[in-house]
Structure 1
């Protein structure tokens, strides 16, 4: 049996150096290293592994944020489309019983805009067809636009007034009712304005550009081939002839006379005999009353409350659907307008 170690002798386990000391091999050769020492290549490898893990976590976090934002955007788009859905009438005030039907014509009158004949006529049809509507108010804020679209709205108002003779239609002008906007307004039973509204501009214009002088300076030659001597009529890159100008002015005069006829038919003997009435000038709301272009001062609320005796308003305006609104906001309408201008060179409008 091995002799017992003295009490003060250091105790060691087999294979381990004594505390604070080195193994016999290390002591003998002098080339050993501490157990906790890490070689440079091991440290570098460990750092690479840790950095790879951190990068992976960051990438995963970014993708999570991206997908969350995407889901949020889709949800917002769905809510937006539902709120802008082209549904039925919108009530302002009490929801049932006798009410005043409201239709809004705002902005330029154009076939693919919010103030197109298709949308305005559909809204007016629904408003007149509602037996609970005491009358219809057409609120107008428009500088004008397409003669064709304005004429279509005018004709449909006349048709609806004949179909529903006991249901009046009143136009209420807020900021501006000029040119094509007034063409539409002339079909109403009465026109109410603010004293500072802009009313009138009964005229027609055709605008475009001529680039022939600029092309000469740049040394650009226009090569236009046509079958028919007037096929290049109003081409902005070709000189304008006297015959073409005379023809365009005659066409403008024809449309102007159509405009004048519509105003006279709608307003009748309320129009005053003023030489500037159909000259294209515009006036304040107060002056338009004096000229017979409008009937009285009033707002949507005052006409509904005091004239129609039905203060509750129900809005029948056809709203833009989601694709139309997105296209307009992202400039599709601008691109279409630019393309049309390049194709026809000039446009005819009530503005």
Structure 2
């Protein structure tokens, strides 16, 4: 067995078998460059007639964290004008906007086709309404955008002197947490994020977000990229029992002189274990380097579905550079992993 020694932890990941069908249908038919320029014009509101497009860079891959089944495209470009240069970076996954960043000019101003709002709340409303039309044009789902606009009505604008650097010096949001139906809205001083919820479980991978911090606009929409592959069939108490059994049975070793492995017995600390439940893409825990995990499991999972992965950390007195064991337990099977 192999272990991951990272940040002082030995990680053991246990998995159960689940057969699913891969779903890798692209969302957009146009090229990524065309879509990005239309997004900048129609959604963000940049006046592209006043800019020269230059330094276009494009690449794509089928990354291992999506199992090699899903296309990930990267494109960067510069928009040059006499009023200042704007840089744009984006990543599209299966045709959806994983992230798109607009960097404002260091010196100068951004040229819009409209009057930019003076506060983040109104600007977010404008962008979402524009995005609604954009999504309809390209056949993307829009129900979550309407939900996001409704929740945004419950958010307040920060005072003008709130002290954070933002894109075009607009005023930010008042931090808040608002939940309605299957959506949770989290606002910070500079951004808003709408997270999918099912059975009281938050799924940050499936979200819509806008942020205006640091003289840039960051937009992301993975709401329709991911779907739920399954919820946890284990309770927190059952997961603790499974994880504790695995932790106690793990053969921990340290490397002695001459590279010899020396077995050690950890002295467990009397502190509560850390227990977290994350909904993660099915193949995100597969890596190019095979010895990152003791056991990746034999599960064949949909790379664009979210599955429940529990993590439990048990602490012991420091041994070398190690202070604990992190146990990963997939929670979407009725049979306990062994």
Please indicate the TM-score interval, normalised by the length of the shorter structure.
Answer: under 0.3
TM-score (norm 2): 0.21
TM-score normalised to structure 1 length: 0.21
Structure with bigger gyration radius: 1
